[in-house]
Chain A
Amino acid sequence: QSVLTQPPSVSAASGQRVTISCSGSSSNIGNNFVSWYQQLPGTAPKLLIYDNNKRPSGIPDRFSGSKSGTSATLGITGLQAGDEADYFCGTWDTRLSAYVFGTGTEVTVL
């Protein structure tokens, strides 16, 4: 049972924008950096965002991250068919002394 809560699914038409929320607490999101991962079917997760809002080399600027208090948000603009995947947030939890992941969100492009 994850300590980070995400919506099970979000959807939007091609070219549109979606946002995915990640809700936690002061022991995790509130006091630590958040990362976001994309997982295409049958593959390993891929780091999209780290330190709340930074993109690794090679990640397009269609992907953005933000954090406010104990919640974080991933935004995807110009939605493409290739963006259909599961997305997970993740961060360190100081109380649990463990890295924790969100429940995951499935993105569907209509």
Chain B
Amino acid sequence: QVQLVQSGAEVKRPGSSVTVSCKTSGGIFRSFAINWVRQAPGQGLEWMGGIIPIFGTPIYAQKFQGRVTITADEFTNTAYMELTSLRSEESVVYFCAKSLYYSGSGTPSGGMDVWGQGTTVTVS
């Protein structure tokens, strides 16, 4: 059974960067599609991007292009999301989530069946 465990809460200054980790267990990491989704308090879900280690190249939502970097470490079965130039309105919860499947071209298009517990990032 696949499990995703995220790193703990962070407090950051405006303009700084944050890195959130997502350690996986169970399954074959390099065949996973790992997504990063964030949610502001009382708001909806926002997809930031994803990575499929077997393909290597991450894909990012246009909104975050240039500010987000998603990587995957196959030795530790851990995915990472770094977000730079943090703003106060980005005091939100960040989730990692595994897709059920992905397309032949490497897009994480399937539903997300396993989620991390969430990491709260406070920018203040």
Chain A interface residues toward B at CB < 8 A: 2, 32-33, 35, 37, 44-47, 49-51, 56, 88, 90-92, 96-104
Nearest B residue to A88, CB-CB: B45
Instruction: Report chain A residues within 8 Å CB of B116.
Output: 44
CA–CA, A106 and B116, complex, Å: 22
B interface with A by C-beta (< 8 Å): 35, 37, 44-47, 50, 59, 61-62, 95, 97, 100, 103, 107-113, 115-118
B residues near A101, Cβ cutoff 8 Å = 37, 44-47
CA distance A56 to B101 in the complex (A): 13
Q: Which residues of chain A are within 8 angstroms of B111 by Cβ–Cβ distance?
A: 33, 35, 37, 47, 49-51, 90
- Select A99's contact among B50, B113, B118, beta carbons within 8 Å: B50
Between B95, B111, B115, the greatest number of chain A beta carbons within 10 A of the residue's beta carbon is seen for B111
